[in-house]
Every structure is written in structure tokens, then in C-alpha cells.
Amino acid sequence: MKKLLSLLVFLNVCTGFGQGNLQFNQVLNLSFTSGGNNYAVPVGRVWKIESIGLSSYTSFFTLGIGGQNIFLKNTHTSYTSEFNSLPYWINGGQTVTFSGLNSGVASIIEFNVIP
């Protein structure tokens, strides 16, 4: 009985100090060109990048978050990650840049952060 009471107190404390829950908002399919496109993740939301589709197989793709580029794919060298880093989560308030050698589409799930 003592262990059960301790477990219940522990669970109550843990859930009382959570940082919020995620609630599905919408699916986004954001196009980008070879020159790159910028998008803003709204405050109070998070994005989960599920997949990237490129218009050409021999291409590269970078994801820029707050000026920091993350190299996700390159088939021009021996490095061929083929998007092994996805899914990728991005906090609200961030500016995101999708760019590559060719155009493409990013498939994203947007969530509301519920306090």
C-alpha cells in the first residue's frame, strides 16, 4: 500500500510540472525553390518535419534554423544520408529555411502547444 501511495504521489508531481501537451493542428506541404524559401514557425506551435520530396534524385538539401544550416542530404559526394535525420522537430518562433540544388516540398505536421 505504501508503494502504491508513493507511486501516485510521484505521478501527480510529474504531471503537475509538465511543459504542456501537443495537440494536432494541421498538415503543411511547403514548397521551396532551389534558391531557398523561408518560413516562420508560429509561436505556441511546433513543427515536425516528416519528409522531404526533391524534384531530382541527384541533389542536396539543407534545413536552416535560426541561421544554422543542417545538411540532410547530398548525392553529389560519397556522403548520402538520404534524410536519415528525419523526423525533425522545430520550436515555435524559429525561422526555417528549406533549400537545395533543386526545388521540392516539405511535408510537416504542425502541433499546438497546450499548457
Q: What are the pLDDT digits (tens) for 43-89?
A: 999 999 998 887 876 667 788 888 888 777 655 554 444 556 788 89
Which amino acid appears at position 7 of this protein? L
pLDDT recorded at residue 111: 98
User: Is the bond leading into 87 cis (omega within 30 degrees of zero)?
Assistant: yes
Q: Which range (2-6, 17-21, 76-80) has the least confidence?
A: 2-6
Residue 63 lies in a domain: yes
Q: What percent of the chain has pLDDT over 70?
A: 70
Residue 15 lies in a domain: no
Residue 97 lies in a domain: yes
Residue 31 lies in a domain: yes
Is the model's pLDDT at 90 over the cut of 80? Answer: yes
Residue 11 lies in a domain: no
Residue 6 lies in a domain: no
CATH of the domain at 25: 2.60.120
Residue 90 lies in a domain: yes
User: What is the pTM (predicted TM-score) of this model?
Assistant: 0.72
CA atoms within 13 A on the CB side of 88: 19
Residue 39 lies in a domain: yes
- SS3 of residue 2 by DSSP: helix
Backbone angles phi, psi at 2, to 5 degrees: -65, -40
In contact, 111 and 24? CB cutoff 8 Å: yes
Kindly give, in sequence order, each residue whose CB lies less than 8 Å from that of residue 79, ignoring residues fewer than 6 positions away: none
- When divided into structural domains, the chain yields a total of 1
Rg of the chain taking only CA atoms, in angstroms: 19
Q: Which three cell numbers stand for residue 85?
A: 535525420
Residue 60, domain extent: 20-114
